[in-house]
Amino acid sequence: MARSIGMAADATVYRAVIEFTDRDGTKTTKHEGPYGGIGAARARVSFWTNYLAERDEETQEPTGESRASGHVERGTVSWERA
């Protein structure tokens, strides 16, 4: 998916770092972004945490555990001719 990242040199960007845990215990880390604002990156962490939330088998209510967790990282853009 294309993103609009036409921003100034040395602009601050954010990315979501998500750690997924498979049912067999295997962990995988993925990165999403860059985003121009911290809120968008936080939203991606929240999305995956909620989407992969563990649910009670009887009630289907979330147990408070999830197979995803993450954090947000901040960086700067450095453009160079390709």
Spell out the domain ranges in the chain.
12-73
**Which pLDDT band holds residue 3 (cuts at 50, 70, 90)?**
low
44: pLDDT strictly greater than 80: yes
Residues 6+ away with beta carbon under 8 Å from 51: 68
pLDDT band at 2 (very low <50, low <70, confident <90, very high): very low
Distances (CA, A) of 74 to 9, 10, 16, 21, 81: 15, 12, 9, 24, 23
Specify the pTM.
0.81
